[in-house]
Amino acid sequence: MVKRLCLVFLLSANLLCAETYVLEPTVEPTIEEESVDLLQEKIKALIGDKAYARHVKFIKIIFSDEEAYYTNARVDVAKVIVTLKENGLLDLFFKKPQEMHLTFQSSGYPLFFVKIMSDTLQSMGYYRFITDRSKQDESRFFWTIRLTGEYAIDPVLLKKALQKRGCDIVDIDRQTQTDWAYHIDMKNAYLMLEELRPYSEKVLKKSLYEHWLDVKSSKSLTLWSLKGNSWYPYVSIYDKELHLLKVYKRDRKTYKIKLELPEDTVYVKIADLYSLKNIKEGLRVQAEGTK
C-alpha cells in the first residue's frame, strides 16, 4: 500500500512539472502530441475559434512541420504569426473603425518600458493612444492603452519595430479581434537615438515633444537658447534604464547653461519648465569631455 501511494505521488509530481493540459485516464500523451496541441491552441487563440474551425484542414497542412514552430520548448509565436499572415489567415481589418485595447507587459523598468513602447508605436504611425491602466506586480509591469483604428496593429511590423530598439516579442495573446496582449523582452533594450559624441554639437529644432539625447560618452553639456526664445530650462538626466539621476530647472529666462553629468548618465531630456513654445526657435547643444 505504501509503495502504491509513493508511486501515485511521483506520477503526480511529474505531470505537474510537464504542465500537461488534458490527460486520458489511462493513456499518457507523447511529447509530439503535446507539442501539436500547444501549437494548435496558440493558432486558435490568434485567429479565433470560428476562423480556426473554418480553415483547420489548411492550417494542419501549412503547420505540418510542427517542430519548426518551437524554440526552447516554447511556441515561437512570432514565426506562427508570419505563417498565418503569409497565408491570409491573420485578419486584422475591421468593417468600421473600432476601439482597441492593447496590453504590453515586461519585467523592464516601467518608465523605460513605456518610453520604448511609445516611441515604437509613434514610429509606426500611432500617435493618438490613451493609457487605459497600468499595474506592477512583483515581477512584471503591465501597460494597457486604447486607440481607435480601421485595423489592428500588425504583430509582424510591431516585432520589427521593437527589434530596432533591442526588444523582442516573447508571446502574444488575442482575446478578441480588438483586444491583444504582448509580452515583451527588454533585456537588451535601448532608446533609438543618435549619440551626441564628445566635442560635437547639434541644433535641436522646434518640436512638439521634448528633446532626447544619448550622451553616454560625455562628461558635460553646454546648451544655448537661440534668438527669439524665452527658455526656462527643465533638463532631466537618466541612466541606461531611465532611472532619474538628476533634474536641473531654472525659473528665469536663460540664454546659456552648462551641466555636469553624473557618472552613469546615458540619456538627457531637454524641455521647458512651462511650455515647449518657449523654445520654438530651437536650442544648440555641445557635448564636452570624455568618460
Q: Is the pLDDT of residue 96 over 70?
A: yes
The pLDDT of residue 20: 34
The pLDDT of residue 58: 96
Q: How confident is the model at residue 139 (pLDDT cuts 50, 70, 90)?
A: confident
The pLDDT of residue 24: 40
The pLDDT of residue 36: 45
Q: What are phi and psi of 173, to 5 degrees?
A: -125, 130
The pLDDT of residue 213: 97
- 151 with 92: CB under 8 angstroms? yes
Report the predicted TM-score, pTM, of the whole model to 2 decimal places: 0.81
Q: What is the pLDDT averaged over residues 269-273?
A: 98
Q: Helices H, strands E: what count in the chain?
A: 6, 15
Give me the domains of the chain, ranges plus CATH numbers: 16-86 (no CATH), 93-185 (3.30.70), 201-288 (2.60.120.260)
The pLDDT of residue 26: 38
In angstroms, the CA 211 to CA 269 distance is: 6
In angstroms, the CA 152 to CA 147 distance is: 10
Of all residues in the chain, what percent carry a pLDDT higher than 90?
81
The pLDDT of residue 108: 87
In angstroms, the CA 89 to CA 53 distance is: 12
Q: Which amino acid is at 98?
A: Q
Tens-digit pLDDT profile for residues 14-41: 333 333 333 344 344 444 444 448 999 9
Q: What is the pLDDT averaged over residues 105-123?
A: 95
Q: At what angle do helices 31-47 and 77-86 cross, to 10 degrees?
A: 60
Q: What is the pLDDT averaged over residues 97-116?
A: 95
The residue to which cell 515561437 is assigned: 76
Measured between its terminal Cα atoms, the distance across the chain in Å is 71
Question: What are the DSSP calls for 46-85, one per residue?
Answer: HH-HHHHHHHHHHHHHHT--GGGGEETTEE-HHHHHHHHH
Residue 61 CA from chain centroid, whole number: 32
Q: Is the pLDDT of residue 290 over 70?
A: yes
Q: Which of 212, 191, 166 is nearest to 114 (CA)?
A: 191
The pLDDT of residue 123: 95
- 38 with 76: CB under 8 angstroms? no
- Alpha-carbon distances of 255 from 87, 128, 198, 260, 288, rounded to whole Å: 59, 34, 22, 17, 18
Tens-digit pLDDT profile for residues 196-220: 999 999 999 999 999 999 999 999 9
In angstroms, the CA 80 to CA 153 distance is: 16
Q: How confident is the model at residue 154 (pLDDT cuts 50, 70, 90)?
A: very high
The pLDDT of residue 75: 93
